[in-house]
């Protein structure tokens, strides 16, 4: 097993990619600390991990509050004796979201407030910073380890209506590059994934909504690759597990000499066309949100 005997802390572990990663990492031998702001969601992930024979604990924490993440790391070490992997996965979308996907309000940039900015900044960038900072002492004590962050394709290409979100995710990419240089001397690798497809509808739903457990594409109805805007044509829709497998690769020894990398987990055709569509792309594309 790729993570046999490892201990992984996953923020935003109560739903979406965090929940899928918790289940996948556990199936590969890891003990999991499921960190989420929603205690019921965290407990739900723990139940799923235990049902498959794994070990997990639930920790309630707000990643935008540094002390709560410090306490979460301490609770993980108390429960399992060490920390090998810190997956800073928690994220929130800008107010208004991606209008063509969410069907919600269109919020003009000039109408966004400082509160809107601080909310996105606090979770998406400060939350990654706090998680990495809190994890480093435990990782160093363990002789090294891995920090992984969830960035976004929106950090690499433009999406309508989420400039603040894009800015915070681009900041994650810069933080990953800088930390990889600074922390490599301690045997700590730092990377990120940048998903486009195969992410959870919960990302655009109100807090407390039931956990969907599937990707946008899986919940959209019968799959027809012929009408999908995704350039790569396969006989099934992208899933949460596709992104979780990319995360698994970057936290396992399969990527032992990879650090400072933001890996886009999408097909290149889609990534290249998010910001610009060419004449051969007929019709109006449907944008797909990410986390």
Active site residues: 165
Three-class HEC string of 34-83: EEECCHHHHHHHHHHHHHCCCCEEEEECCCCCHHHHHHHHHHHHHHHCCC
Nearest to 161 by CA among 117, 108, 200, 118: 108
Largest CA distance in the chain: 58
Contacts of 2 (CB under 8 A, 6+ apart): 28, 29, 248, 252, 253, 254
Q: Are 169 and 152 in contact (CB under 8 A)?
A: yes
Among residues 9, 140, 158, which one has the least CA distance to residue 71? 9
* The two three-digit tokens of residue 257, written as one number: 């000499």
């Amino acid at each position: 097993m790729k993570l046999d005997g490892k201990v992984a802390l996953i923020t935003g572990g109560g739903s979406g990619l965090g929940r899928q990663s918790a289940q996948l990492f556990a199936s590969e031998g890891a003990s999991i600390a499921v960190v989420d702001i929603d205690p019921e969601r965290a407990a739900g992930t723990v139940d799923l991990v235990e049902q498959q024979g794994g070990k997990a604990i639930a920790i309630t924490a707000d990643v935008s509050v540094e002390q709560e993440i410090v306490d979460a790391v301490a609770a993980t070490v108390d429960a399992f004796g060490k920390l090998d992997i810190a997956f800073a996965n928690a994220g929130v979308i800008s107010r208004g979201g991606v209008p063509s996907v969410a069907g919600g309000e269109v919020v003009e940039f000039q109408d966004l407030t400082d509160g809107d900015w601080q909310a996105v900044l606090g979770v998406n960038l400060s939350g990654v910073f706090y998680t990495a900072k809190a994890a480093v002492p435990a990782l160093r004590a363990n002789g090294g380890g891995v920090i992984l962050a969830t960035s976004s394709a929106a950090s690499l290409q433009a999406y309508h209506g989420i400039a603040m979100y894009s800015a915070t995710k681009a900041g994650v990419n810069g933080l990953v590059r800088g930390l990889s240089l600074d922390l490599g001397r301690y045997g700590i690798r730092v990377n990120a994934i940048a998903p486009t497809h195969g992410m959870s509808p919960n990302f655009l739903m109100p807090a407390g909504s039931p956990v969907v457990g599937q990707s946008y594409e899986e919940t959209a109805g019968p799959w027809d690759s012929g009408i999908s805007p995704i350039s790569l044509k396969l006989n099934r829709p992208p899933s949460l597990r596709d992104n979780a497998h990319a995360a698994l690769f970057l936290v396992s020894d399969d990527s032992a000499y990879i650090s400072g990398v933001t890996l886009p987990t999408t097909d290149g055709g889609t990534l290249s066309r998010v910001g610009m569509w060419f004449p051969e792309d007929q019709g109006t594309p449907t944008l797909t949100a990410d986390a």
